[in-house]
Amino acid sequence: MSMSYVLLAIAVAILIGCAVWAGGRRRKALEAWAAAHGLAFHPGRDRRFDSRFGSFGCLKRGHSRCAYHIAEGRWGERQVMAFDYRYVTGSGKNQQTHTFSSVILESNVPLQQLRIRSETVFDRVGEFFGVDDIDFESAAFSRAFHVQAQSKRWAYDVLHQRTMEFLLASPRFSIEFDERNAIAWREHRFDVEAFEAAIGVLEGILERLPEYVIRREREGKELK
């Protein structure tokens, strides 16, 4: 074996060792954070996680999907799950593994589908070709966020002036509602502080739901 192969093998071993060390350090930090907040911590992989929350698009990407480093329990009056997520795209030499972090917060009120994320230059190009999102009276909010919903009325009800101001002043996450939960994520793994920030953003949106919306959604759910 030539010296170059030996050096390459040593470099690979060092990289693997550093990754294992960093992974263990992250697990311990998240476990300590979960314990401090009275949350149960499950470091192992849950490969059926996407089937539990199948309406969230970020959890349906690629293949070989799994959640891990899962912290779950009560956060105030709501159930919370904070976790890392992994999925794979492509195959063979083109295979790529993706990881990100996310928080799911249970709502005490029935919800409707809603997606909120930061506006990008590609969204502005899409608008030119007629692919548009929902615009709001706040020009600053419409420039900052891309919003989609099956019901514009629902989007306007949720994203009223106080909530728009709250989101403009908050850390940025991609956010989505299903019928009972809200999820916040970014395209990379969180640090511990970002998990709490994500929970705070979701709480802020849900706590600002107008009373007439809460009453209407609860009554509508009872009638179904």
Residue spans of the domains in the chain: they are: 40-223
Start-to-end CA distance of the chain, whole Å, equals 71
Residue 197 CA to residue 66 CA, distance in Å, equals: 23
Predicted pLDDT of residue 129: 46
| Bridge partner list, 85 | 67, 100
For the chain, 224 residues long, give each residue's pLDDT as a single digit of tens.
Answer: 565 554 444 443 343 333 433 457 899 999 999 999 999 999 999 999 999 998 999 999 999 999 999 999 999 999 999 999 999 999 988 999 999 999 999 999 999 999 999 987 656 554 544 456 899 999 999 999 999 999 999 999 999 999 999 999 999 999 999 999 999 999 999 999 999 999 999 999 999 999 999 999 988 765 44
Please tell me the pTM assigned to this model: 0.84
Cα-based distances in Å from 27 to 22, 73, 84, 150: 9, 18, 10, 38
Is the separation of the CB atoms in 208 and 166 below 8 Å?
A: yes
Tell me the residue length of the chain: 224
pLDDT of residue 133: 82
- HSE-CB at 5 with a 13 A cutoff on CA atoms is 2
What is the predicted pLDDT for the residue at 20? 38
